[in-house]
Structure 1
Amino acid sequence: MRKLIFSILLIPLLVVSQSTTEYPVIENGMITANPTKIKEFEKGVAAHNKKYHAEGAYGARVYWISNGTNVGKYMWVMGPLPWSAMDTRPAKEGHDEDWNTNVLPYTMAEGDQTYWRFHPALSNFPKDFNLKYLRVMMLDMVSFKEQQFLEQLDKVAAVMKAKYANEPYGMYTNEMPNSKDGRDFAFVDFFDKMSFLGREDTFPKDFEAVHGEDSWESFLNVMAETTNGMQSELWMFREDLSGLSPKVIAMERQ
């Protein structure tokens, strides 16, 4: 059932401290390559990232979406970083010209940009790990019931941290949502073997073990009232196209 309820953007890729006065944001750019120019696109984006996005807060990773309506598209991811970092975002000489010359001509006019707020207190990164696969699960919130939905996340986090303490996962909310695309909230699992997806789902039982008898049914009732549906995607890390390595540093804790 957990797979059905929490099937998503986005991704803590650097050390993030819960003590910071600003919250971290992740920039996701979905790119559709021209199907007749895949080789040229991948060559261009790989060279661009390794030259301009290979270190620090402005480093970038690329993922390939392997299912759903966005299958075959690429997700360009930068962050997490605070909004204030956007004001000082470096524009190395030739950055925009390089993108416009060596990447953009090989793409389709189907781009999409999202900014996701990462919630460290609701997420868990207990150890360093290497990225390989991401299960990205996105939920659409019912208008004017967002707060009621968000209040349930503490319950989910309590179960995850009690029963899945060694698994890395993140929770995110869309900073600029709309009522049409169904991407208001995201839950992301990070794993390195596809067998992860075939495990028995014990989340309902685990939920009641943490919150008490009949708590799962009550939780589902609130979810039914506050969400319109969900979509899930499997993202595969493309190290060859990325500026950053697959290494993710565990979140710094107080």
Structure 2
Amino acid sequence: MTVPTFRLDQRTAFVTGAASGIGRAIAVGIAESGADVACFDLPGPALDQVCADIQAAGVKALPIAGDVTDAGSLAEAVSRAQSVLGDLTLAVNSAGVANAAPAETMPLEQWQRVIDINLTGVFLSCQAEARAMLAAGRGGSIVNIASMSGTIVNRGLLQGHYNASKAGVMHLSRSLAMEWSRRGIRVNSISPGYTATPMNTRPEVAEQVRQFEADTPLGRMATVDELVGPAVFLLSDAASFCTGVDLLVDGGFTCW
């Protein structure tokens, strides 16, 4: 028996939301697993910094500023990534936002922004990435970052828009997995539990962090680094028969 490899050497990855939080950790983890990485996020010094950290791992990095709600921006970014780094075969879509508001008073604009970034942005990202992968004919693997909030409703958090967007990411990933399964592209999602990112320590949830940890069987929130292994696994040849999977990484939260 040959032990499957988790290495990603000589491959090109495209990561959205790469400048912070889970996306940043995964972008660096992919690089440390051997892939060159195009980092896509809003412009700012954090985007350049993650690319510097990736280059320190001995691989190539390309910062590309853009917005996941802009199909043209994504198409141009993927094209540029391929022209600089080579054919795209790996992608992680991590760009997302969160906020809270009671459903009965939530402005339409607040609902729409979360859906536009978290769900439509994932669709547009997958679309641009898959078009490139299909054109190159080498296949590929796409991982979308969902949330356990797509499976459960978080006690004390009034975030119907966020929960709905992440449930949509999970089912979108399954749908795309089936659509592209015979064409060499695998699509999976990861659903993190409470994770110590800027999003989950934002002011409106700060008082609830202690409860988050108490409600998690492992007794704490995840670190962003604990999402790297699951992402590298799903991207790698070790997961060659995995598609349409939603991998819960929640410290056991959804068992209760």
Question: Is TM (by shorter chain) over 0.5?
Answer: no
TM-score, length of structure 1 as denominator length: 0.26
Please identify which structure carries the higher helix content. Answer: 2
Greater CA radius of gyration, 1 or 2?
A: 1
Q: Which has the higher contact order (CA 8 A, sep 6+)?
A: 1
**TM-score, normalised on structure 2?**
0.25
